[in-house]
């Protein structure tokens, strides 16, 4: 399975702190994506990183990809209470259909 | 318009009922997806339609029947469901099946009694 596994499963921080989530996967991929899901809602695409890329930025988000270690990290800087959500990594192989990991639940306390 | 809409938002049905979930997008996307998500779990792919044809069925029980009447619309017909089918059903679309980014609707929360 190409399913990613996020770590930690839950993360609780104070507003203003940085939040780092990690994703590990088992087989080769074409790309890896991060999605956010607010409680009981649909998923919002955050960022996509391709297998030949090592780092991408989008606003307060920074994603890294290490294909040799089959792992990725999502860093949210200067977190806000509104960042409270579940974050999923999704890996895609030849079909380009993402397979989602189990997610990290982030709580940012105001 | 970058929105995927889903109706209804909530649905309660008995095990003998027949109901349908509806998904619509007007982004010109040619691939549409149904996912099932249980509480505190990741979304699980159910079906993929590409150019209005079913291209992937992830061994979903026949009590779930997808339909793609046109390129903007995706339905999921439900019949004789079980209580364990209660979940959040998410629809998504992408430019094509080989295109990476999926746009998700808000989901339909289904409760089977």
Question: pLDDT tens-digit profile of B12-32?
Answer: 999 999 999 999 999 999 999
| A93 vs B: CB within 8 A | no
- The answer, yes or no, to whether residue A2 has pLDDT greater than 50, is no
Q: How confident is the model at residue A1 (pLDDT cuts 50, 70, 90)?
A: very low
Q: What is the pLDDT of residues A35-68, one digit of tens each?
A: 999 987 889 999 999 999 999 999 999 999 999 9
- Considering only CA atoms, which of A23, A15, A18 is closest in space to residue A103? A23
Q: Which residues of B touch A100 (CB under 8 A)?
A: 42-44
Q: What is the pLDDT of residues A79-105, one digit of tens each?
A: 999 999 999 999 988 777 788 999 999
Q: For chains A and B, what is the number of CB pairs under 8 angstroms?
A: 56
Q: Which residues of B touch A42 (CB under 8 A)?
A: 4, 6, 90, 104-107
User: What pLDDT score was predicted for residue B1?
Assistant: 59
Nearest CB to B102; choose among A40, A98, A101: A98
User: Are residues A98 and B105, on separate chains, in Cβ contact within 8 Å?
Assistant: no
Tokens of A52: 């030949």
Long-range CB contacts (within 8 A, 24+) of B4-7: B4/A42, B4/B91, B4/B92, B4/B93, B4/B103, B4/B104, B4/B105, B5/B105, B5/B106, B6/A42, B6/B89, B6/B90, B6/B91, B6/B105, B6/B106, B6/B107, B6/B108, B7/B108
Nearest CB to B90; choose among A42, A95, A97: A42
């Amino acid at each position: 399975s190409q399913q990613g596994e996020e770590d930690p499963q839950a993360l609780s921080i104070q507003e203003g702190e940085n939040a780092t989530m990690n994703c590990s996967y088992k087989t080769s991929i074409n790309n890896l994506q991060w999605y956010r899901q607010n409680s009981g809602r649909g998923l919002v695409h955050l960022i996509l990183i391709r297998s030949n890329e090592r780092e991408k930025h989008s606003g307060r988000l920074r994603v890294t990809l290490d294909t040799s270690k089959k792992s990725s990290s999502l860093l949210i800087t200067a977190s806000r209470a509104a960042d409270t959500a579940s974050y999923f990594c999704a890996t895609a192989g030849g079909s380009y259909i993402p397979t989602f990991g189990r997610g990290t639940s982030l709580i940012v306390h105001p | 318009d970058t929105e995927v809409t889903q109706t209804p938002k909530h649905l309660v049905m008995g095990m003998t009922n027949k109901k349908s979930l509806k998904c619509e997008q007007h982004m010109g996307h040619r691939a549409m997806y149904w996912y099932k998500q249980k509480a505190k779990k990741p979304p699980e792919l159910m079906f993929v339609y590409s150019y209005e044809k079913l291209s992937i069925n992830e061994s979903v029980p026949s009590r779930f029947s997808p339909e793609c009447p046109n390129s903007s619309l995706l339905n999921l017909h439900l019949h004789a469901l079980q209580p364990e089918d209660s979940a959040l059903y998410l629809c998504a679309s992408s430019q094509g099946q080989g295109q990476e980014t999926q746009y998700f609707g808000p989901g339909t929360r289904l409760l089977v009694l």
